[in-house]
Amino acid sequence: MLTLGNLFVLMLLTAGGAWLWHAHGLRERALARVKQHCQQVDVILLDDNVALRRIALLPDARGRKRLARVYGFEFTVTSEQRHAGTIIMFGDHVGHIELAPHPFVEKPGSALDKPDLVPDKTPEKPTSAEVIQLSEWRRTHDKWHH
């Protein structure tokens, strides 16, 4: 026979299961968004995984405190070092994604390879430890203000 206490425990277990199912769906959404972001900024997501770090009340874009899930992940640029990243999810919406400081790898064909966009990538360097006057250096190297 089903008593009121047994019914309460059954409802509590059902609610817990539904919450875990929903949380798994949010984790999968966070993972998909992190993969997309890593591809956009040209870094490699490691382990193809995000991990829940904490649940906290954090300010959203409008400054209101909301319940947020903070997921952590790791990425690499050079395949030599791991760097940490975080994604904040407000429900199923992304708050923001933050990547730890990491090295930048210049790709061939970037804007820095086009001499018409960059005035002078390799200015002449002094061959000794002599002091150079700034006004003299500007006069000989500053192409933009002539």
Reading the chain (146 residues) residue by residue, the pLDDT tens digits are 788 888 889 999 998 888 777 777 888 999 999 999 999 999 999 999 999 999 999 998 888 999 999 999 999 998 888 999 999 999 888 999 999 988 877 766 655 555 555 555 555 555 566 777 778 877 777 665 54
pTM (predicted TM-score):
0.62
d(CA 42, CA 13): 43
Angle at 96 between CA 90 and CA 67, to 5 degrees: 25
